[in-house]
Amino acid sequence: MSEEKKQNGWNPKIAAFLCNWCTYTGADLAGVSRLKSSPCVRIIRVMCSGRVDPSFILKAFKKGADGIFIGGCHIGDCHYSEGNYKTLRRIEFLKIFLEDFGIDPKRLRLEWISASEGDKYAATTLDFEKQIRELGPLTFMN
């Protein structure tokens, strides 16, 4: 089925939770810089990556996201000092969870991208898109 979809011009849906101060700005910079980033990424701005509740991620998968991208400030550079540490722990935890749920943890990606790293944002999203394409669409059992 997935092979079919891949061939039928399937485009993955990637939900991205980006921190307002770093990655969101970085994404902005990527745009301003006219860099090519993944068009599959659907961005949700949060003030801090620490705001990302694991429920959101599960919900996003359930709602049809094939991959989820979380972008935060570099460790130590968090606008809110330590928010990204919590994100780090949640995502680590969640990856173990996702595997148990039978979802490839590669579909969840956490990256530290600062406001100045427009190029990194572009490169990472493209890479992530490629990865998701390789993994194929995410389907759910009933």
Partner 1 sequence: MKPKLALYWASSCGGCEIAVVDIEAKILDVADFFDIVFWPCIMDFKYKDVEAMPDGDITLTLFNGAIRTSENEYLAKLLRAKSKVMVAFGSCAYEGCIPALANFYDKKKIFECNYINSPSLQESSKNVFPQTHTQMPEGEIEIPEFWNTVKSLDQVVDVDYYVPGCPPQSTQIIAVVEAVIDILKNGKPLPPKGTILGAGEKTICEECTRERKEKKIKKFYRPQEIIPNPDECLLDQGIVCMGPATRSGCDALCIKANMGCRGCYGPPPNVLDQGAKMVSALSSVIDSTDPKEVRDIIKTIADPLGTFYRFSMAHSIFHRVQKMEEEEK
Partner 2 sequence: MERSIRMVTVNIDGKKIEVAEDTTILKAAEAAGIWIPSMCYSDLLEPYGVCRLCSVEVIRGKRSRIVTACNYPVREGLTVNTNSDKVKWIRKILMELMYSRWPNVPVVKEMAERLEVTKPRFVSLERDESENACILCGNCVNICRDVVKASVLSFEGIGIERKVVLPFNEQSETCISCGACAYVCPTGHIKIKSLETERGALQDFYLGPKSAINIPTLQAVPRVPVIDKNSCIKMQTGGCGICSEFCEPGAINYEMKDEEVDIEVGQILVTTGFNLFDPQQIPQYGYGRLDNVYNSLDFEFMLNSTGPTGGTIQCKDGSEPRAVGIIHCVGSRDENYKKYCSRVCCMYALKFAHLVKDRTKAEVYQFYIDMRAFGKGYEEFYKRLLDEGVNMIRGKVAEITEESYNGNKPHLLVKCEDTLIGKFREIPVDMVILCPAIEPAQDAAKIKKILSISQSPDKFFLERHPKLDPISTMTDGIFIAGCAQGPKDIPDSVAQASAAAARILSLISLGEVSVDPIKANVIEEFCSGCRICNNLCPYTAISFLEDKKISDINEMLCKGCGTCVAACPASAITGKGFTDEQILAELEGLLTV
Interacting residues toward partner 1 by CB under 8 A: 53-55, 57-59, 61-62, 75, 85-86, 88-90, 92-94, 96-97, 100-103, 138-142
**Could you say whether residue 59 binds partner 2 (CB under 8 A)?**
yes
CA gap 51, 29 in Å, rounded: 22
Binding string to partner 2 for residues 85 to 104, with x set by CB under 8 A, is what?
Answer: -x---x--------------
Q: What angle do CA 127, 110, 58 make, to 5 degrees?
A: 105
Phi, psi of 133 (to 5 degrees): -60, -40
Among 6, 51, 106, 133, binds partner 2 (CB under 8 A): 51
HSE-CB of 53 using CA atoms within 13 angstroms: 3
In terms of Cα–Cα distance, which of 2, 15, 71, 66 is closest to 44? 15
Interface residues with partner 2 (CB under 8 A) are 13, 15, 21-22, 25, 29, 32, 42, 44, 46-48, 50-56, 59-60, 63-65, 76-77, 79-83, 86, 90, 114-117, 119
